[in-house]
Structure 1
Amino acid sequence: MKDINTEQNILNAAITVFQKKGMAGARMQEIADEAQINKAMLHYYFRNKQQLFEAVLMKAFQKLAPQMNIIFAMEINVYDKIRQFTSSYIDFVLENPYLPTFIIHELNNDPQFATKLMAHPNKPDPKPLLRQFEEEIKAGNIKDIPPVQLLLNLFSLTIFPFVGETLFKVILDISDTHYHELLIARKTELADRFIESIRT
């Protein structure tokens, strides 16, 4: 019987090694060493590196998607919902900094991975937010911009600073600590600027 604590220990070890070496550079032996188990035990839980990599992603996804769906479905005004989304998403990725680059890697490696994610019962469902955008446009409260474009803008502005973190730190010549501070400030800065750009 597989032990939940051992499996979580393996996932934590995999995150550490994948962050240091990347998916291509990581070795199952390194992950076993990090988890302080033998390689045979590691293969008992996860047959290969790809399966382990996907398990790491799905574990994080299972935490993120329900949080996003709660926000999308909240009965609050659209501006507060935007603030909730940017703050919650940035907090989550700061706690799971490996996630954006892992997902980009897997999407490039396996185009069907997005289909696997969306097959999950708790997949993100932004339809309530899209409907709210439509209602606010009709009421004249926000600019007449296609709701899908608004959603793409919001997602892109929130996610890209994490995907491009290494590049931005080199271009801006700033430390990890300084960049982290910028991301913390962005929780409110981004929401305020986005709201200002769509308000009529």
Structure 2
Amino acid sequence: MQKEKDTSTERSILEAAKRVFQNKGMDGARMQEIADEARINKAMLHYYFRSKELLFEAVFKKAFALLAPQLNAILNDDSSIEEKIKNFTTNYISFIIKHPYLPNFIIQELNRNPNFIEKLATNNGFPNIQKFKGQVRDEIEKGIIIPIGAEQLFINIMALNIFPFVAKPLIKAFANLDEGAMDALIEARKNEVSNFIINAIKIK
């Protein structure tokens, strides 16, 4: 009974923390606010998670564990490079819309702890691009896409998908967009990004 109670409390804390982090970000969130959101006292919160950083890391790992297998499945299925680009972009953007804190957290965590991703990479389901690299070589040889390094192509896909979330305030300021217009812009990128990359690499 005690074990089930502990699991339930931890789950409630993680869900509360996710909501606070989404609204306030890592720097703006306070442990007291998370405790209030989870309807527990601060001492109880510190019993489960000794610091805000550890709690943020736990929230991230839980969310990343949902995203990574989806992306890995796309990279390792039998679809064409064109379909992979479309599916990867759609899945990534859809997921980050629901978990907008993730891209900034990854950057923050890499700066704070460069070995963090190495730990994640040992988990089952962490994205692996070996099959993707082989498919890129095959489609180049068949004259479907232009000669391009698979790693470079993958970086292009990641960069175009990640940047709008990381630089959201900057983009809003440059383009003079309100929150609703920015959300619409992000949604439109599901097609914009994939079409841009495909048109850049596909042999006409």
- TM-score by shorter chain over 0.5: yes
2:111 corresponds to 1:87: no
2:176 corresponds to 1:173: yes
Which of 193, 196, 199 is the equivalent residue of 1:196? Answer: 199
Q: Deviations over 1:39-82 (max 9, x none)?
A: 22212221222211110110011001000011111111221111
RMSD of Structure 2 on Structure 1 (CA): 1.5
Is the contact between residue 120 and residue 126 of structure 2 (CA under 8 Å) also seen in structure 1? yes
State the SS of the aligned residue for 1:3: helix
List alignment gaps of at least 5 residues for structure 2.
none
CA apart distance, 1:17: 2.7
Q: Which residue of 2 aligns with 1:15?
A: 18
Aligned pairs (5 A) from 1:124-135: 124-135=127-138
Q: Which residue of 1 aligns with 2:68?
A: 65
What amino acid is the match of 1:65? Answer: A
Is the contact between residue 22 and residue 99 of structure 2 (CA under 8 Å) also seen in structure 1? no
Is the contact between residue 12 and residue 38 of structure 2 (CA under 8 Å) also seen in structure 1? yes
Q: Deviations over 1:4-44 (max 9, x none)?
A: 33222211222233344433443322211121101222122
2:152 corresponds to 1:149: yes
Which of 24, 27, 32 is the equivalent residue of 1:29? Answer: 32
Bigger CA drift: 70-79 or 119-128?
119-128
* TM-score normalised per structure 2: 0.91
Identity level (%): 49
Number of equivalences: 200
CA apart distance, 1:84: 0.6
Name the CA distance, whole Å, in 1 between partners of 2:168 and 2:27: 20
List alignment gaps of at least 5 residues for structure 1.
none
